[in-house]
A = this chain, B = another copy of it.
Amino acid sequence: MAMKEFLRTKGFKMTPQRDLIFKSFFEMDRHVSVDELYDRVRQLNSSVGYSTVWRNLKLICKIGLAEEVNLGDGVTRYDRVTKVPHGHMYCLKCKELIEFNVDHIMDFLTVTANENNFLPEGYKIEIQGYCAKCRETMSEDNGDRLT
């Protein structure tokens, strides 16, 4: 009942679809795309519409429980919000996202913003490349171009 109450205070209603979508999102791996969540939700209730999943993902962001992540591959992913900001290592081959702690950097970024009179709303720290798993695979397949 907690989520329902929370939503009410913000002027939103609870529905069976919404309940299912929210629960599925929080149970799945963070960083899901609309399609991925849609597929999962459909397994549990095949009548839920794509736009409903999309709208609820947006809603989850609006109420501050997730944020959109854009990695330049044309697909928006949704990342559960945690207290700790973090960075992402993004594998260009398997698309996996590995998170890493970023505390060391935050001071620097904050100061930089300040110096420029820039009001920060969010940060994005990303390393693109190839994950350990893919590096193995790739070096087996074809010499070792990557090491």
- A63 in the interface (beta carbon within 8 A): no
The oligomer's copy count stands at: 2
A147 contacts across to B, CB distance below 8 A:
119
Interface of A is mostly: strand
Category for how many chain A residues contact B: 35 or more
A15 to chain B, nearest CB (A): 29
A68 to chain B, nearest CB (A): 7
What are 5 A-to-B residue pairs whose CB atoms are below 8 Å? A70-B72, A121-B128, A121-B129, A124-B125, A124-B127
* A residues in contact (CB < 8 Å) with B: 68, 70-72, 76, 87, 89, 91-92, 98, 100, 104-105, 108-109, 112-113, 116-132, 135, 146-147
